[in-house]
Amino acid sequence: MDPLLLARLQFATTTSIHFLFVLVTLGLITLLVYLQTAWVVTKKPVYERLTRFWGTLYVINYVLGIAAGVVMEFQFGLNWSGLSKYVGNVFGAPLAIETLTAFFLESTFLGMWIFGWHRLRRGVHLALLWGVALTAYISAFWIMAGNAWMQNPVGYEMRDGIAHLTEFSALVTNPAFRMAFVHTMLAALVTGGILMASISSWHLIRRTADFELFRKSLRIGLVTAALTVGPLLHFGFIQLADMAPLQPTKYGTPEEKEAKIAELTTAFGPGDYEPPTIFLSSLSFMFIIGFLLVLICLQFVLLPKDLLIRLRFPLWILLFALPLPFVAAILGWITREVGRQPWAVYGLLRVEDAVSPVSGGVMFTSFLGFTLLLGTLAITNWVLIAKHAARGAHDDLALGRPPEQEPADDRPDPAFV
């Protein structure tokens, strides 16, 4: 058993699973901010019920997503000690900021928001949700900044074979970062919008007791997806143009590829420096799904109000479209990460030099353990989300439930006993 192959498979599996949690977290928190803000401004009960319903799904995904993230981070020290040693001084700053943001600020704001219903003023309670959203985006910002450095290392110097960050601002001005971050955030919004529209479609198809409620959330989800899927594709194409000069072996012309391969051969010796062609297939299918989502969202623009509900078949299309943004996101991740091969840090550190020096048996055990654990978390997450989504919002949801009235105390006053 090849330890390198197993380490790569483990990283691909665990990171892909965790990325799905992240998409739902970023997408739903943005929609939740809109819903609760609308409730505070308009005082309409429908927005409170929507906030409680979608907030329940968000909390489920967030809790299990945090667990998945913690599990995923263990593999850096276990399987990629060479990478940790080589870039630890560069990754330390953005990962420290991300950890403080996600595990401290974001979790604190969310906990206060969960337990602050009917205990805090509406404005304060809403501010906490805005804080959750802001810290979620800050967390994604620094993770993407660290990933971009691996795609295009900048602002560093080598000391004794170890990379040291010399210019912190280079992390956020990195051309491999800017469009990638925007593209990923738009992908999360499209995912959140399609998720909301799909679940709403299921209730509208069945004509549940929450028909009017999900009629509104269907519209909100479709508007969100329709407004963001076009820019998502646009920034995806821009990202390709930005990355072409940075990774010529991936996107460059034949002449640029040949020149870069010759440069890498001189520096690292003979080897296969062209990325696997699977990334091209992933890229193609990702854009195909993107255009399909554009067509699906166009039905909202083209069909008059409520016609898609009366026709019913557009609701079925939306229901079965639910996996599409998730599949596209994984294909995009494959395009970005597999297309960087054989480099852990492009042009500096090969993957084979980044893996930990452990046996194939140990790596296989690690691969099975991590995959089963992350898979269990993912399945649990979707089962719980599906269960609570199917219940609808007419049940007495625990999130935001008004405190029960204290029972009257009929005991006699001790002073008169």
Q: Report pLDDT digits (tens) over 125-138.
A: 999 999 999 999 99
Long-range contacts of 84-88 (CB under 8 A, 24+ apart): 85/162, 86/161, 86/162, 86/163, 86/344, 86/345, 86/348, 86/349, 86/353, 86/354, 87/149, 87/150, 87/163, 87/345, 87/349, 88/162
What is the DSSP code string of 251-320? Answer: HS-HHHHHHHHHHHHHHH-S---SPPTHHHHHHHHHHHHHHHHHHHHHHHHHSPTTHHHHH-HHHHHHHH
- 287-308 pLDDT, tens digit per residue, is 999 999 999 888 777 777 677 7
| Nearest Cα residue to 14 out of 54, 69, 60 | 69
- Where residue 404 falls among pLDDT bands split at 50, 70, 90? low
**CA distances (Å), origin 133, targets 58, 101, 127, 225, 271:** 12, 11, 10, 18, 45
Q: What is the mean pLDDT of the chain?
A: 87
Whether 26 shows a pLDDT value over 50: the answer reads yes
In the prediction, which pLDDT does 72 show?
A: 75
CA atoms lying within 13 Å on the CB side of residue 17: 28
Whether 415 shows a pLDDT value over 60: the answer reads no
In the prediction, which pLDDT does 191 show?
A: 96
Beta carbons within 10 angstroms of residue 316's beta carbon? 13
Contacts of 170 (CB under 8 A, 6+ apart): 154, 155, 156
Whether 416 shows a pLDDT value over 70: the answer reads no
pTM (2 decimals)?
Answer: 0.90
- Tracing tokens 């949700």 back to the chain, one arrives at 129
Coil, strand or helix: which one is 385?
Answer: helix
- 98-150 pLDDT, tens digit per residue, is 777 777 888 899 999 999 998 899 999 999 999 999 999 998 998 899 889 99
In the prediction, which pLDDT does 94 show?
A: 79
In the prediction, which pLDDT does 47 show?
A: 93
| % of residues, the chain, pLDDT over 70 | 95
Q: At what angle do helices 211-243 and 178-206 cross, to 10 degrees?
A: 160
Lowest-pLDDT range of 219-223, 369-373, 396-400: 396-400
Contacts of 247 (CB under 8 A, 6+ apart): 151, 152, 339, 340, 346
| Nearest Cα residue to 217 out of 309, 132, 299, 311 | 309
Q: For 55-72, what is the mean pLDDT? A: 87
